[in-house]
Structure 1
Amino acid sequence: MDFDFTDDQEQLRDAVRKWVDKGYGFERRRGIVKEGGFSRAAYGELAELGLTGLYIGEDDGGLGMGPVEGMVVMEELGRGIVLEPLAQALIAGGVLSGYAPQALKAAWLPGIAGGEKLVVLAWQERKARYRLDVCEAQATQVQAGWTLNAIKSIVPAGDQADAFLVPATVGGKIALFLVERGAAGVATRGYGTQDGSRAAELSLKDAPASLVTLDGLAALEHAVDIGIAAACAEAVGVLDKTLAITVEYMNQRKQFGVTIASFQALRHRVADMKMQLELARSMSYYASLKLNAPADERRRALARAKYQLGNSMRFVGQQAVQLHGGIGVTDEYIVSHYFKKLTQLEMTFGDTLHHLGEVSQRMQDTAGVFA
């Protein structure tokens, strides 16, 4: 099997890497955190590169690319621990392109592709514990369309978004809706998250909504799987940079007159970190390659990938902090911010224990990855 990237994919990687290196340094990131964890200017720069339209067709102003290109981009953003939620643009573009009626596509996809509109997935509820089929939000059909009553938690950049994709129950089944942030009955309460980015609590009280699809659970599962694949790829970038920072530190830090990189026991720990990175990388590839597979196969694959990435993130993050010593948890030193990002990504779209349960429930006669 050929795992080489095409010339176009390598050029895309190079463009994003150059932007991260030159336009999104640690000091700029620190400034964005102080300002609240989200920058419209930085998000606009991602849009100028075409990244917000990655999963949107050319007819709607996007690039019409696929999961592998998405993986390449998210890896590079992970290396720079970029705060702006590009994964949400991938989710919105993919879901609206695949499930929304034509009028809704025409109204929103060009704006998402151009970066003028930020549409985010608002799916988490307090009692759901990552389960997608648990939904207390209620939708009611009225003469003018639909209204929603819901409370959704940890909505990425929720108080900065232009609209939300919201699952809600209709007649005992889950449907998916689009709600504009400026609509009547919509309230948000923003706050900073552990990694410095921004999220919000979303409250809807008889808020007007546009129906995306009545087959909401299928659309929601697809949306979350796009998010998982993006999180896995982003995590690979974070892991790669975390390891590089740790190795650089070990080649500089001295004890007993020699660099600590010369200590055999510590070299073994770095080798274990490298192994976990490569396990994570291979499962991220697997997740992206399975993103367009039939739903059952896709769901099994993404759960397996997220489980392995969760283990790798926890191991590499903890080892990096321990190998640095006390400086590894200080705000002034960059590795602590990579550790926070890994900790948050491990819980994004379902933590490791949740996905272990998903893998177990979906296991067939053979437990092989490619079964």
Structure 2
Amino acid sequence: MDFSLTEEQTLLQDSVDKFVRDNCDVERRRSLNQTELGYDAEVWQQFAELGWLCVPFTEEQGGFGGSAADVMVMSEALSKGLVREPFLTTVVTCGGFLRLGGSAEQQAAHIPAIIEGAKQWAFAFAEDAAGYNLAAVSATAEASDGGFRLNGAKTAVLNGHHSDYLIVSARTSGEARDKAGVSLFIVDASQAGISKQAFNTVDGSRAANIEFKDVEVAADQLLGELGNALPLMEAVIDDSIIAMGGEALGAMQLLLNDTVEYTKTREQFGQPISNFQALQHRMADMYLKVEETRSLLFNAAIQADEGSADKAKACAALKVKIAEAGRFVSQEAIQLHGGIGMTDELNISHHFKRLLVLGMLYGDEDYYVSRYTALSA
């Protein structure tokens, strides 16, 4: 099987790589960590002008008609520059909900604004004590005056602090953990009854805890099928995992490269520490973890683009590897750099924190081992 990039993917990769080299470094990320927004709005507009925000959408939706592999390539290239702009949350995840589950009217109303960089989105699904169970939804949307009345709270909503629109999971029927009875709604974040409490995540990006109190939701704000949102959520999250895999792979590859270079310059006992066999073995183990991630990422992207029935299982396996390999590679990079690896001035610590977030987002290693086992039964 040919795993080489297509001409279009190579051009996309080169375009992102050039932008990253010219504009993105540790100092930029450190400065953005101190801002209320958490990313650069002007750079987001540059993404739109370069056509990057249209990659996942079909041509009929005004997009590039890109594949899962295209998104993977772009995510990997962006990760090398510690890019903070919310491509994953707004374009891949929320854009995925609109692309796969939105009505023609919803797509026409919202996708162009995402492609133009005019609107930000966030997926509000997590709740206290829910764990990673997407069906563990206590927020409710009760029928009211031809629409719904939304009540409840969502926690750790990535990009929720500044989003224009929220995609919110709420229970329209059934008990708190029933798989049936969960629905999705497109909610204008400026609607009355919505309150936000913003905070910084462990990697410095911004998120919010959001409360909904008697928020009036019109019938046409329902996204997808009433009471049957779980399959759509799982499909979109699987696509997001492929993008996350690209980001994790780029981060791990950079950590490996930086560690190898550092050991060539750091000396002990009159010679570079890269000469020590014990350290060579550790870097070889890092290399193996990177390549294992690459293989599982390619497999997941191929399964997704082919519409394979094994896509969900491939994405579950990839998510396990993102958590396990990301933890191993980043910890080894810090240890082989010594104390300097934990400093804010080096990109090592920033990639370590981002890999930690990617390993936990939408489900940790244990959760996806269980999901993979269930899908393989």
- Per the normalisation by structure 2, the TM-score is 0.93
Alignment-derived partner of residue 360 in structure 1: 373
Post-superposition CA distance 1:254-290 (Å, at most 9, x none): 1111111111110111011000000011111122222
Query: Matched residue pairs, number?
Result: 364
**RMSD over aligned Cα, in angstroms?**
1.5
Superposed CA offset, 1:152-194 (max 9, x none): 1111111111111111111221111111111111111111111
Q: Which residue of 2 aligns with 1:205?
A: 213
Q: Does 1:265 align with 2:258?
A: no
Using the aligned pairs only, state the percent identity. 36
Change (3 A) 1:39 1:218: same
Poorly superposed stretches of 4+, deviation over 3 Å: 292-296
Decide whether the 8 Å contact of 2:154 with 2:211 is kept in 1: yes
Partners of 1:347 and 1:261 in 2: how far apart? 32
| 1:188 paired residue among 196, 208, 211 | 196
Paired position in structure 2 for 1:308: 321
Partner in structure 2 of residue 369 of structure 1: none
2:30 alignment counterpart: 30
Matched letter for residue 372 of structure 2: V
Normalised to the residue count of structure 1, the TM-score between the two structures is: 0.94
Q: Using a 3 Å threshold, how does the CA distance of structure 1 residues 69 and 294 change in structure 2: closer, same or farther?
A: closer
Distance in structure 2 (CA, Å) of the matches to 1:293 and 1:150: 38
Displacement of 1:101 in angstroms is 1.5
Deviates more, 1:28-37 or 1:263-272: 28-37
Looking at structure 1, the residues matched to 197 and 308 of structure 2 have their Cα atoms a distance apart, in angstroms, of 34
| 1:293 positional shift | 6.1
Aligned to 1:256: 269
Name the structure 1 match of 2:107: 105
Q: 1:309 to 1:10 in 2, by over 3 A?
A: same
Match of 1:276 among 264, 277, 289: 289
- 8 Å Cα contact 1:186/1:207 also seen in 2: yes
Look up the equivalent residue of 2:201 and give its one-letter code. Answer: T
Q: Which residue does the alignment assign to 1:287?
A: 300
| 1:338 aligned partner, one-letter code | H
SS at match of 2:135: coil
| C-alpha contact 1:236 1:280 (8 A) present in aligned 2 | yes
Which among 155, 168, 181 is matched to residue 166 of structure 1?
168
- Superposed CA offset, 1:63-92 (max 9, x none): 221101000000011111212220121122
CA shift at 1:294, angstroms? Answer: 5.9
Distance 1:207 1:290, change over 3 A: farther
Asked if structure 1 preserves the Cα contact closer than 8 Å seen for 2:26 and 2:345, the reply is no
**In 1, are the aligned partners of 2:126 and 2:156 still within 8 Å (CA)?**
yes
Tell me the equivalent position of 1:3. Answer: 3
2:64 matches 1:53: no
